[in-house]
């Protein structure tokens, strides 16, 4: 009887450690992208509002292939400041923004929603056509 109790405690401990490792990995990856990421141009293509979260989809070109990701570093949360909430709400669909990424993890980007890109040459140089 006592062994089952100990196994249960060990299982809970292992699950908690796995969860903590995943959270730490997420913070570490986003820190890597922020510090050593390459600046790219991304296009805001979709906002998906779900009951408990909102996903922001961005696309960009990497090695002539289009990558679409919702892992953009933009989060709608009750913990956001009023200024952050205004910036997130001001995102325009089909608008272009600067972001950072590292090639090792192409689906993880950090978007800067404060600066919208309107320079047509810069947009075309990033692989987008104006008709997109």
pLDDT at 131: 64
Q: What CATH number does the domain containing 63 carry?
A: 2.40.50
pLDDT at 73: 78
Q: Are residues 94 and 121 in the same domain?
A: yes
Report the chain's C-alpha Rg in angstroms.
19
Q: Are residues 11 and 71 in the same domain?
A: no
What pTM does this model have? 0.77
Q: Are residues 50 and 25 in the same domain?
A: no
Tokens of 28: 């570490």
Residue 111's closest CA among 30, 50, 52, 24? 30
Q: List, for residues 118-128, the tens digit of each pLDDT value.
A: 989 999 988 88
Tokens of 44: 């805001």
pLDDT at 49: 84
Q: Are residues 31 and 43 in the same domain?
A: no
pLDDT at 115: 87
Count of the separate structural domains present in the chain: 2
Residue 99's closest CA among 64, 130, 72, 127? 72
pLDDT at 72: 80
Q: Are residues 59 and 117 in the same domain?
A: yes
Low-confidence ranges of the chain (pLDDT < 70): 1-5, 79, 131-132
The answer to whether the beta carbons of residues 52 and 112 sit under 8 Å apart is no
Per the structure, the complete domain to which residue 16 belongs is given by 1-36
Q: Are residues 61 and 126 in the same domain?
A: yes
Residue 90's closest CA among 113, 63, 69, 60? 113
Q: Are residues 18 and 65 in the same domain?
A: no
Separation CA 90–CA 98 (nearest Å):
15
Q: Are residues 3 and 51 in the same domain?
A: no
Q: Are residues 49 and 27 in the same domain?
A: no
Beta strands in the chain (DSSP E): 38-49, 54-62, 65-69, 96-102, 105-117
pLDDT at 15: 94
């Amino acid at each position: 009887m006592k062994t089952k109790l100990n196994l249960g405690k060990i299982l809970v401990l292992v699950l908690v450690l796995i969860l903590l490792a995943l959270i730490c990995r997420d913070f570490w990856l986003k820190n890597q992208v922020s510090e050593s990421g390459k600046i790219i141009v991304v296009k805001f293509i979709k906002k998906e509002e779900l009951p408990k979260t909102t996903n922001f989809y961005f696309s960009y070109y990497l090695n002539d292939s289009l990558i679409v990701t919702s892992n953009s570093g933009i989060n709608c949360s009750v913990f956001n400041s009023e200024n952050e909430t205004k910036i997130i709400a001001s995102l325009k669909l089909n608008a272009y923004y600067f972001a950072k990424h590292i090639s090792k993890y192409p689906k993880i980007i950090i978007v800067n929603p404060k600066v919208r890109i309107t320079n047509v040459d810069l947009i075309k140089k990033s692989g987008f056509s104006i008709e997109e």
